[in-house]
Amino acid sequence: MLFITSAMIQKNAPAIKKSRILVTCAKGIAPFLREELIRLGFPVLTESVAGIGTEGSIDDTLRLNLMLRTAHRVLFLIRECVAMDAGGLYRELAGIPWEEFIAEDGYVCVTSSVDNPSITDSRYANLKAKDAIVDRISARRGRRPDSGHDKSRSVVNVYWKGRECAVYLDTSGEALSQRGYRKLPLSAPMQETLAAAVVMATGWDGTRDFINPMCGSGTLAIEAAWIALNRAPGLLRNNFGFMHIKGYHKPLWQSLRSRALQESRNSMTCRILATDISRQAIEAARQNAAQAGVENMIEFSVCDYRKTPLTDNTGIVMLNPEYGQRLGNPGTLEETYREIGNFFKQRCIGMTGYVFSGNLEMSKKIRLKTKRRIPFFNGGIECRLMEYELYAGSRRKADDPS
Ligand SMILES: C[S@@+](CC[C@H](N)C(=O)[O-])C[C@H]1O[C@@H](n2cnc3c(N)ncnc32)[C@H](O)[C@@H]1O
């Protein structure tokens, strides 16, 4: 339980105590986000392909930003209204008491998603919304905040579809996929939030070994380590949108952080191995793991994936080969996918194999029967996480389309 002290009682708190909260995520990740929200004790009020609606106070958004592994942004609803055109949007937004949320010497960035027949360029809607906010604050406080595209301070999000408009405080600011550990991304890295969802899809809880050949910049292995250590994904970040909203409850944030640190483990019983054929990739992965505080918990080595040292024969082996769209030579790609099937059959018996790929045609070349095929999207590319139960004599079909 969180212990509230008098020092934590909020001063200058914004007028809205409780509201709807929209937690956005990458397309396809909502089922994992839903599970996370339920585990944290938040109700699921709405669900779409790229977001879950819940409710709570602005203080609740601090915990959501700290704890959610698969969320993109945490948006706190402050007004729903009807706007026919840009003039209507300006009038509605100028009626919101922005002086209670944004300091006159602060800074505001407006982002939006606009589908209104009178607007051909969403930047115009952003401009009108920004004008309404700064004009209102200037009229009430005699000074207008700065504004621009920088999302590292106050961020206001406008969702305007047809006549209906929802106005949110973006309590995340920069997207939550930016955990703060990936300094060296290399090419085609997986977003941290997607990697967390992919690891969660395996049901991995840190009791079996996690083997990650083709680890690239190490995102899957690092997210797996954080899950095993019960490490809150927001612990490394020192800046969120909520910190720039008036009445920011700093003692509560410090308390939530301390509690998350106490609840995270310092060691794990399983092993995590990450290998890649590229020395540069392993160097980047090692540095990213060091930033993430898990360098000593992941065993790195440079090798072809087929030479990856295998440990526990009941563990997980997960590969994210190149898809061909962005990386990889199509000529050698087919052989790589074909060889993954042989690697699984020859060296990974007893383990559960996973391949994450956006090349659904190539994936058939693995020629092993899939137990599950879980859909995901990576940067607009439709992907699958394919699960293979690797028992002796795993059924093999020619170019298995299952
Ligand atoms: C799509 S990237 C993996 C990206 C990774 N999931 C991340 O988040 O950074 C594929 C990786 O496979 C590696 N790779 C390609 N062929 C390999 C092979 N034969 N053996 C081991 N690694 C290989 C590449 O060097 C590259 O780092």
Cα 271 from chain centroid (whole Å): 24
Amino acid at 393: G
Average pLDDT on 185-195 reads: 86
Spatial separation of the C-alpha atoms in residues 101 and 213, rounded to whole Å: 47
- pLDDT at residue 11 is higher than 60: no
Check pLDDT > 60 for residue 31: yes
Lowest mean pLDDT among 30-44, 280-294, 320-334: 320-334
In a shared domain, residues 66 and 196: no
Q: How many domains does the chain have?
A: 2
Q: How far is the CA of 121 from the centre of ligand 1 (A)?
A: 39
What pLDDT score was predicted for residue 262? Answer: 97
- Among the residue ranges 82-96, 178-192, 231-245, the one predicted with the least confidence is 178-192
204 and 352 in one domain?
yes
Q: Is 394 contained in some domain?
A: no
Confidence of residue 331 (pLDDT cuts 50, 70, 90): low
Q: What is the pLDDT of residue 212?
A: 98
| Domain range enclosing 288 | 192-230+265-389
pLDDT score of 398 more than 60: no
Average pLDDT over residues 57-82: 98
d(CA 61, CA 194): 21
**363 part of a folded domain:** yes
Residue 26 has pLDDT above 50, yes or no: yes
Residue-level pLDDT at 189: 86
- pLDDT score at 183: 80
Q: Is residue 393 over pLDDT 90?
A: no
Average pLDDT over residues 249-276: 96
Rounded distance from Cα 277 to ligand 1 centre (Å)? 7
* Tens digits of residue pLDDT in 191-202: 999 999 999 999
Q: Are strands 352-357 and 107-115 parallel, antiparallel or unpaired?
A: unpaired
Ligand 1 centroid, distance to 216 Cα (angstroms): 5
- Average pLDDT over the chain reads 91
Q: Which atom of ligand 1 is nearest to the CA of 195?
A: 8
Average pLDDT over residues 165-177: 98
Instruction: Tell me, yes or no, whether 187 lies in a domain.
Output: no
Ligand 1 centre distance from Cα of residue 214 (Å): 4
Q: What's the pLDDT at 279?
A: 97
Residue 328 has pLDDT above 80, yes or no: no
Task: Over range 255-264, report the average pLDDT.
Answer: 98
- Give yes or no: residues 125 and 199 share one domain: no
Establish how many alpha carbons lie within 13 A of residue 288's alpha carbon, considering only the half-sphere containing its beta carbon.
30
Residue with tokens 């003692």: 251
User: Is residue 334 domain-shared with residue 219, that is, in the same domain?
Assistant: yes
Which residue has its alpha carbon closest to ligand 1 atom 20? 304
Spacing, Cα 187 to ligand 1 middle (Å): 10
Q: Of ligand 1's atoms, which has the minimum distance to the CA of residue 306?
A: 20
307: domain CATH number is 3.40.50.150
Among 97-101, 219-223, 366-370, 398-402, the least confident range: 398-402
Cβ neighbours, 10 Å, residue 80: 13
- Asked which of 5-9, 39-43, 70-74, 153-157 is least confident by mean pLDDT, the reply is 5-9
Q: Do 129 and 91 share a structural domain?
A: yes
What six digits make up the tokens of 255? 């308390």
Residue 4 pLDDT:
35
Task: Specify the ligand 1 atom closest to the Cα of 304.
Answer: 20
CA distance 171 to 189: 26
pLDDT at 29 over 90: yes
CA of 281 to the centre of ligand 1 (A): 8
**CA atoms of 70 and 193, how far apart (whole Å):** 5
Query: What percentage of the chain exceeds 90 in pLDDT?
Result: 85
pLDDT of residue 221: 98
Q: Are residues 224 and 357 in the same domain?
A: yes
Question: Which residue has the CA at smallest separation from atom 5 of ligand 1?
Answer: 216
- How far, in Å, CA of 322 to CA of 259, rounded? 39
CB-defined site of ligand 1, < 6 Å: 186, 188-190, 213-214, 216-217, 219-220, 276-278, 281, 304-305, 320-322, 327
Residue with the two structure tokens 């990974």: 348
**Which whole number is the average pLDDT over 187-210?**
94
Q: Are 36 and 98 in contact (CB under 8 A)?
A: no
Among 163, 168, 110, 161, residue whose Cα is nearest residue 134: 110
Q: Which residue minimizes the CA distance to atom 17 of ligand 1? A: 277
- Residue 108 and residue 145: Cα distance in Å, rounded? 7
Q: Are residues 75 and 213 in the same domain?
A: no
Q: Which of 32-41, 52-61, 180-189, 238-247 has the lowest mean pLDDT?
A: 180-189
CA separation for the pair 236, 3 (Å, rounded): 23
CA–centroid distance, 398 to ligand 1, in Å, is 25
249 lies in some domain: no
- SS3 of residue 345 by DSSP: helix
Q: By the 8 A CB rule, do 273 and 298 touch?
A: yes
- For residue 249, the CA-to-ligand 1 centroid distance in Å is 43
- Report pLDDT for 332: 84
Distance between CA atoms of residues 320 and 80, nearest Å: 42
Q: Which residue's alpha carbon is nearest to atom 14 within ligand 1?
A: 214
| Same domain for 277 and 204 | yes
Q: Of all protein residues, whose CA lies closest to atom 7 belonging to ligand 1? A: 189
- Can you tell me the distance from the alpha carbon of 162 to that of 53, in angstroms, rounded to the nearest whole number? 20
Which ligand 1 atom is the nearest neighbour of the CA of 185? 9
Q: State both tokens at 181.
A: 């550990």
> Which of 99, 93, 148 is closest to 123 using CA atoms?
148
Best probe residue, ligand 1, of 199, 212, 223, 277 (max atoms within 8 Å of C-beta): 277
- In this structure, are 301 and 336 located in the same domain? yes
Of the listed ranges 33-47, 77-91, 135-149, 172-186, the one predicted with least confidence: 172-186
Q: What is the mean pLDDT of residues 75-93?
A: 97
Question: Does the residue 198 lie in any domain?
Answer: yes
More confident residue, 127 or 186: 127
**Residue 287: exposed, middle, or buried by beta-carbon count in 10 A (0-12, 13-18, 19+)?**
middle
Q: What's the 81 CA to ligand 1 centre distance in angstroms?
A: 48
